[in-house]
Amino acid sequence: MTSRRSLLQAMALLPLASACALSPTTRSRNYTPSGLPLRRVIVSDARVIRTIAGLRPFRSAGFVVKAESYDDKIVIHNYGHGGGGITLSWGTSHLAMELALQTSHRRCAVLGCGAVGLATARLMQDRGWDVTIYAKDLPPNTTSNIAGGQWSPTSVYDEAALTPAFEMQFEQAMRHAYRYFQNLVGPKYGVRWISNYTVSNNPPSPENFNDKYADMYPQLMDLTPDQHPFAAPFVRHYDTMLIEPAIYLPAMMQDYYAAGGLIVVREFTDRADVLTLAEPVIINCTGLGSRDLFDDEELFPIKGQLSFLLPQSEVNYILIGNGIYMFPRSDGILLGGTFERHEWSLTPDPQETRRILDQHQTFFAAMDDPWA
């Protein structure tokens, strides 16, 4: 008679036996370090569902988090995140919150309803403040809705303009944000851990960003050719979080409303117009709008362009490098790869669309996918 222990041991071996039977040609190089299969993205014009463009609010010296006094008003700035708006949103908002808590007030206005504005508003609510958001645009019509959503602060500053003081502030914001987003992992907020592969024709520089902050990039490793399926001479792996704006932003708004928050749709013309607000503390999260509202001549746009393909549920990794990047989201496979400084147009460039699609198609056609 078969014992209960023998039966359980036999059942435990079934998944392994099934996997071997179904995919005899697969090797470890066809899986992520966490054991998920690496599947090819199907790139074709017929699968494109939309192409969009957005403007990153960039400052060579990095984002601004500081307080200014205007008669009976205190304005706390929290803007200029470049390509790291979603990534750093909770972090710079935490720093802005600390400045607000140094005042004697408990009521504030938050300007902007993107990722930075919503994170700021939620942190102030959690500290017992009465918060009103004033914004020209609400999700899904914000710059944050156009963001890729990978947790990793990119194009936040220019190396030549980096100062020790900003670098310290940047690391503080990064570490706060890294912890806050971990608390939001799950389907409600559309946040999940995911493998990232960076591909390059050259080895990583000795002082690259990932190595510098390696404790925030788990499973960081350089891979040999037998450890990955990509046609690239240098491949690096790490894990980050992927935030899906179409899920995350509505969930944040729901939390904000549930905590008693108000939203007023309003467009401001200049700083004097902002200072007519009744709230004694105003937290400015207007991104690129701060250029005109608060005369920040150092702020300028960097245009990014994205094409989305039909979703592929079997694709569950991020790919970045050699001028392209791919994020697999539930609303579609995101393909990007543009970085145009001082470009204000929100109209997608057909030539860039063609380049992005062609380069992704070439890359994934050369990928080893034994299941294809």
Judge contact between 111 and 134, C-beta under 8 A. yes
Judge contact between 306 and 334, C-beta under 8 A. yes
Q: pLDDT tens-digit profile of 88-137? A: 999 999 999 999 999 999 999 999 999 999 999 999 999 999 999 999 99
Residue, of 84 and 2, whose pLDDT is higher? 84
Question: Quick check: 211 pLDDT over 50?
Answer: yes
Question: Quick check: 140 pLDDT over 80?
Answer: yes
The predicted model gives 182-195 an average pLDDT of 98
- Sign of the CA dihedral 57, 61, 67, 70? negative
Question: Quick check: 316 pLDDT over 90?
Answer: yes
Judge contact between 176 and 65, C-beta under 8 A. no
Question: pLDDT at position 314, please?
Answer: 97
Q: How many residues does the chain have?
A: 372
Question: Quick check: 206 pLDDT over 90?
Answer: no
Question: pLDDT at position 207, please?
Answer: 85
Question: Quick check: 300 pLDDT over 60?
Answer: yes
User: pTM score, two decimals?
Assistant: 0.91
Cα–Cα dist 314/328, whole Å: 9
User: Which structural domains are found in the chain, ordered by start?
Assistant: 56-192+242-294 (3.40.50)
The predicted model gives 252-261 an average pLDDT of 98
Q: What is the phi/psi pair of residue 219, to 5°?
A: 55, 40
Question: pLDDT at position 4, please?
Answer: 45
The predicted model gives 262-275 an average pLDDT of 97
Question: pLDDT at position 109, please?
Answer: 98
Question: pLDDT at position 5, please?
Answer: 45
The predicted model gives 33-56 an average pLDDT of 97
Question: pLDDT at position 83, please?
Answer: 95
Judge contact between 74 and 103, C-beta under 8 A. yes
Question: Quick check: 212 pLDDT over 60?
Answer: yes
Contacts by 27-31, CB closer than 8 A, 24 or more apart? 27/226, 28/226, 28/227, 29/225, 29/226, 29/227, 29/228, 29/229, 29/368, 30/229, 30/368, 30/369, 30/370
pLDDT band at 25 (very low <50, low <70, confident <90, very high): low
311: Cβ–Cβ under 8 A, 6 or more apart, which residues?
328, 329, 330, 331, 332, 333
Pairing of strands 317-321, 191-200: parallel
Give the mean pLDDT of the chain.
Answer: 93
pLDDT band at 26 (very low <50, low <70, confident <90, very high): low
Query: Six-digit token pair at 116?
Result: 């930075």
Buried b (16+ CB within 10 A) or exposed e, 259-270: eebebeeeebee
Query: Six-digit token pair at 156?
Result: 């936040």
